Amino acid sequence: MKHMPSLPTEAPRVDRLPPESRGSRRLRACQECDWVVALPPLRAGEQADCPRCGHPLIKRHLRPAQRSMALALSALLALAMALSFPFISFSVGGVGNRIDLSQTATTLIGFHQPVVAGAVILTIIVLPALYLLSVIWLQLGLLRDDPLPASHTIARSLAHLNPWMMADVFIIGALVSLIKIAGMAQIELGVSFWAFCAFAVLLLFTTQSIDADWMWFSLAGEPRAPEGTRTGETAAPQGLAGCATCGLINRLEPGGRGRCRRCGERLRIRLPHSLQRTWALLAAATVMYIPANVYPIMTTISLGHSSPSTIIGGVVELVQMGSWPVAAVIFIASVIVPVGKLVALAWLCLVVSRSSELNAAARTRLYRVTEFIGRWSMIDIFVVAILVSLIRAGSLMSITPGPAALAFGAMVVITMLAAMTFDPRLLWDAPLPRRNARRDPLDAQQNAPGTPQHSPGIRQDPQGIADE
């Protein structure tokens, strides 16, 4: 009788040989300020931050492979349940409708909104499912002490998928939708709704449980840092670049380009044409924001009377209904956040050339906030998707999507891309370093603006040379 392969009974290699088992120092270049530091040994629950800008470099978890795999399996099971049962149902005047989770996207296709429908289905179902399957594939290979095929390619894709998964944003959009129609119809939440809530929470925990440092060390080890690498200085003047995917420091070619020796990711001394691309995307987002607010985002038909509603109009209606908290959420997510993100990114692009006049650490924190909040503007798109698919009672009551939905969704995606193309390391480049040119590099590292005093000790070698 043939036996199925099983996991090893002893501790897998991913647990036996953590990154801290290396005898020599492990160096990293911060992705936000380009500062080269030596990582300290970390225990479970500890985190190493950049001493210059405070950017988290590594966060260590207990049994990371087992933890991520358990969470990913649980999230995938919750998603399967969410797709198998009714999501929400409503009834008004003896007429009702019940929808499944997938119908929140597919219904939009019937209203000639295939792009919006594709964005909804990708961000709440397809990409999260692909991410979870990738995590399970990777961790299963690590637990078997034998990485499965294509593990390196899949591991590289995880960081790129993360910003585009919006299950948590969809849940907030669903709650807003329920509050908007609660006074007009009777609402019943199905098993799928609660399963999707559990899925969104488990997906969030799964993304936070990924220990990329440990994962890449288990997949491919860790080559030594290039000879002569100095800590307490920026990487670019040394001809080095840190990999944004696996963290490894690499020596660049004379043209400032190269590929990571461990994961194969393309490297640049700085993102090429970062400011030009960011300005172009900001201009495109500004253009799209105009029709997104001028045209109606959805049209409500009640007793044969058609009532188009813009984004601001929807906020005013919620205020008139007395739903101040929901109106505040929509106003912040759909008006304040997009405009604030456009202004913040434009201001960051302008002050790059005058960095000596401003605080680089404060500007970097502004960039982090700008990058984080951009995805939450998708709440309005998800509200439209849910209401259009759910409220379908003919002339008695129905909702159709407006032309602003596509424009607003495009604006959200473009602003997210603008934040990704902006290189925050430019904020720390000249002329800021000249202010500290007369200081010792180690003193500059310890006293740089925004240096967090509570961060785990990033060990400095007085010689500042990588061990070989």
For 298, which DSSP code? E
Residue 201 has a CB neighbour count (10 Å cut-off) of 17
Residue 249 · residue 235 · CB < 8 Å:
yes
Residue 39 · residue 458 · CB < 8 Å:
yes
Q: List the alpha helices (DSSP H) in 63-150.
A: 64-84, 103-110, 114-121, 127-143
Q: Please state, in angstroms and rounded to a whole number, the distance separating the CA atoms of residues 28 and 222.
A: 12
DSSP assignments along 352-403, one per residue: GGGGGGS-HHHHHHHHHHHHHHGGGGGHHHHHHHHHHHH-B-TTSEEEEE-T
**Torsion of Cα atoms, 97 then 102 then 105 then 109, to 10°:** -80
Instruction: Give exposure, 83-106, as e/b (b: 16+ Cβ within 10 Å).
Output: beebbbbbebeeeebebbbbbbbe
pLDDT at 147: 87
Residue 308: CA count within 13 A, CB half-sphere: 11
Which structure tokens are listed for 95?
A: 């007429």
Phi, psi of 87 (to 5 degrees): -90, -65
Phi, psi of 343 (to 5 degrees): -65, -45
Q: Which residues pair with 306 in a beta bridge?
A: 301
Which structure tokens are listed for 373?
A: 């909040």
Which structure tokens are listed for 362?
A: 């404060």
pLDDT at 317: 78
Q: Are strands 257-259 and 266-268 parallel, antiparallel or unpaired?
A: antiparallel
Residue 153 · residue 56 · CB < 8 Å:
no
| 455 contact partners, CB below 8 Å, separation of at least 6 | 48, 49, 50, 51, 54
Q: Name the residue type at position 427.
A: L
Residue 375: CA count within 13 A, CB half-sphere: 18
Give the burial class of 324: count Cβ atoms within 10 A of its Cβ; 0-12 exposed, 13-18 middle, 19 or more buried: exposed
Domain ranges of the chain: 64-214+273-426
Which structure tokens are listed for 188?
A: 């019943």
Q: Please state, in angstroms and rounded to a whole number, the distance separating the CA atoms of residues 103 and 106.
A: 5
Using DSSP, state whether 200 is helix, strand or coil. helix
pLDDT at 395: 61
For 449, which DSSP code? T
Which structure tokens are listed for 72?
A: 């990913």
Q: Are strands 249-251 and 298-302 parallel, antiparallel or unpaired?
A: unpaired
Closest CA to 34 of 364, 358, 320, 318: 364
Which structure tokens are listed for 222?
A: 């860790």
Which structure tokens are listed for 437?
A: 């040119």
What is the mean pLDDT for each group of 10 consecutive residues in the chain (468 residues)? Answer: 50 72 80 92 88 90 90 96 91 77 89 91 95 94 88 90 93 87 79 95 94 89 88 91 92 89 90 94 95 88 76 82 78 88 94 72 91 88 89 73 91 94 88 42 38 37 36
pLDDT at 299: 83
Using DSSP, state whether 247 is helix, strand or coil. coil
Closest CA to 98 of 395, 389, 397: 389
Strand locations in 253-329, DSSP E?
A: 257-259, 266-268, 298-302, 305-309
Residue 408 · residue 382 · CB < 8 Å:
no
Strand locations in 204-282, DSSP E?
A: 240-242, 249-251, 257-259, 266-268
Residue 89 · residue 99 · CB < 8 Å:
yes
